[in-house]
Structure 1
Amino acid sequence: MIALPPELLPQLGDGLWHLFAVFLRVSALVSLLPAFGERSIPTRVKLGISVAFTLIILPATPAPIPAPGLLPMVRLIVTEILIGVALGLGLRLFVLALQTAGSIAAQATSLSQILGGAAADPVPAMGYVLTLAGLTLAVLLGLHVHVAQFLIHSYMLFPMGVAPAVSDLSEWGVQRIARSFSLAFSLAMPLVIASLIYNLALGVINRAMPQLMVAFVGAPAITFAGLFLLFAGTPLILSVWADALFSFIVNPVGASR
């Protein structure tokens, strides 16, 4: 057995503690990360992704100053997990925005029950298609590279072991949730407008010709219009969503204002 010199043992302990502290924030974020943290991804794969991100960003993160005692260690562990979960929720809200936009569009165009249980989360077909397409686009645009940069920059916004103020964190969370619903409604706006025009036209025709069963004529029309708008508007919807996602990654604090 090879014996290590006594002077290397403190350095080895500090290096392992640094690795563990970085892994705490990274693993908490990866558990909520779009595409890499989905519920359909096995836990072992998520663990491997967390280790890979940890090894990538470890050289660029400042090493924590090990404080003696159990309480400082517990405080550091809880703080790093809290920061990772907060940043992961900020990213996860963009996936929820796509799902909400799909639900709004599906309800507006009477397509809410088709393939409703095809995803891990019970969402309509439009929400499932938009979510899957958005996650695929994000990965193709280099989501993993942007997330690595995001994690490195997070140590400038939230230094290791320094817990954010509760008031600032709650205000930031409320802004992110409000921004998520605003983005979802903006993405579904074309189909909501089409539904409004359809219902107005249907009401006028019904008043003009009460004997005509306008529901039987209008149901195929709104279905076809909804599918056509989904086909034609998905590139623009995903472009707006991707820009919002990567704007948040670049500036997670200012993106909500």
Structure 2
Amino acid sequence: MIDLPPDLQTYLTDEFWRLFAIFLRVSALVSVLPAFGERSIPTRVKFAIASAFTLIVTPAVAGPPGIPDPLAFVSLAGTEILIGLAMGVAMRLFVLALQAAGSIAAQATSLSQLLGGAAVEPVPAMGYLLVLSGLTLAVLLGLHVRVAEFLIHSYDLFPIGTLPAAPDLSEWGVRQVSRMFALAFALAAPFVIASLVYNLALGVINRAMPQLMVAFVGAPAITFGGLFLLFAGSPLILSVWTDALFEFVQDPVGMRP
């Protein structure tokens, strides 16, 4: 065996614990992170992604003082995993917002059953296309860089081993869920408005000409209208979504005006 100087041994031990503590938070976040934490990505690839983020984040983060005892280690591990999961779930809510927006739009335009089982999760085809396009756009716009910055800034909010207060964490989580539902409805608003106009027009035509089978006449119109809105509105929808995602990454707790 090679005997290392005591100072070097202490330094390497401290660095190992710092690296491991950061890896706990990073791996918990990566497991549910949009694009990088999808179910279709193998576990080994997720482990490699978490390791890469850990190596990027570690030089910018101060580690825990000294070697923790077993009880302190359990507390440290639980705290870091909880913080990582909370931040990852908050970002995953943006994907759920796109799925919800696609479901609302598909139901409003009678396209909810078209290729509904094509995704890993049972969502309408419109939601599947929006999610796939949104994740692709986010990665192309530098999601990995934003996530690295997000992780580094998270240690300013929650230093290693600092457990967030339960009331503050629950209030923040409820606020994020409410924000995601509002975002989902806002993204699907053009489809809802088009559906409202379509049904009002269909009702007026039906009252004017009761003998006309308005459902058979109007079905192709609402289908074409929904597909046209998806084609024409997707760039704006995805732009609004990515702006909201990157705004959250820059200010996760909403402290900026």
TM-score range, shorter chain: over 0.9
Q: Please tell me the residue identity of whatever aligns with 1:141.
A: L
Instruction: Kindly provide the CA deviation profile for residues 191-231 of structure 1, in whole angstroms up to 9, marking residues without a partner as x.
Output: 00000000000000001100000000000000000000000
Farther-moved stretch of structure 1 (71-80 vs 94-103)? 71-80
CA–CA separation in structure 1 for the residues paired with 2:4 and 2:156: 35
Q: Which residue of 2 aligns with 1:148?
A: 148
Q: Which residue of 2 aligns with 1:189?
A: 189
User: 2:14 touches 2:67 (CA, 8 Å); kept in 1?
Assistant: no
CA–CA separation in structure 2 for the residues paired with 1:110 and 1:20: 50
Query: Percent identity, aligned pairs only?
Result: 73
> How do residues 24-39 of structure 1 correspond to structure 2 at under 5 angstroms?
24-39=24-39
Instruction: Kindly provide the CA deviation profile for residues 33-58 of structure 1, in whole angstroms up to 9, marking residues without a partner as x.
Output: 10000000000000000000000010
> How far is 1:10 from its partner?
1.5
> How far is 1:66 from its partner?
2.8
Q: Please tell me the residue identity of whatever aligns with 2:59.
A: P
Instruction: Kindly provide the CA deviation profile for residues 151-197 of structure 1, in whole angstroms up to 9, marking residues without a partner as x.
Output: 00000011110000000000000000000000000000000000000
Q: Please tell me the residue identity of whatever aligns with 2:23.
A: F
> How far is 1:7 from its partner?
3.0
Q: Please tell me the residue identity of whatever aligns with 1:230.
A: L
Residue 205 (structure 2) pairs with residue 220 (structure 1): no
Q: Please tell me the residue identity of whatever aligns with 1:223.
A: T
Superposition TM-score, scaled by structure 2 size: 0.98
Q: Which residue of 1 aligns with 2:76?
A: 76
Residue 18 (structure 2) pairs with residue 18 (structure 1): yes
Superposition TM-score, scaled by structure 1 size: 0.98
CA–CA separation in structure 1 for the residues paired with 2:90 and 2:222: 35
> How do residues 114-133 of structure 1 correspond to structure 2 at under 5 angstroms?
114-133=114-133
> How far is 1:64 from its partner?
0.8
User: 1:248 touches 1:255 (CA, 8 Å); kept in 2?
Assistant: no
Residue 197 (structure 2) pairs with residue 162 (structure 1): no
Q: Please tell me the residue identity of whatever aligns with 1:129.
A: L
Q: Which residue of 1 aligns with 2:99?
A: 99
> How far is 1:73 from its partner?
1.1
Instruction: Kindly provide the CA deviation profile for residues 237-256 of structure 1, in whole angstroms up to 9, marking residues without a partner as x.
Output: 00000000000000000079
Unaligned runs of 5+ in 1: none
> How far is 1:72 from its partner?
1.2
> How far is 1:92 from its partner?
0.1
> How far is 1:69 from its partner?
2.3
Q: Which residue of 1 aligns with 2:3?
A: 3
User: 2:17 touches 2:67 (CA, 8 Å); kept in 1?
Assistant: no
Q: Which residue of 2 aligns with 1:54?
A: 54
User: 1:176 touches 1:256 (CA, 8 Å); kept in 2?
Assistant: no
Q: Please tell me the residue identity of whatever aligns with 1:17.
A: W
Runs of 4+ aligned structure 1 residues displaced above 3 Å come to: none
Q: What is the CA RMSD across the aligned residues, in angstroms?
A: 1.3
> How far is 1:150 from its partner?
0.3
Unaligned runs of 5+ in 2: none
Q: Please tell me the residue identity of whatever aligns with 2:149.
A: Q
* SS of equivalent to 1:254: coil
Instruction: Kindly provide the CA deviation profile for residues 114-154 of structure 1, in whole angstroms up to 9, marking residues without a partner as x.
Output: 11111111100100000000000000000000000000000
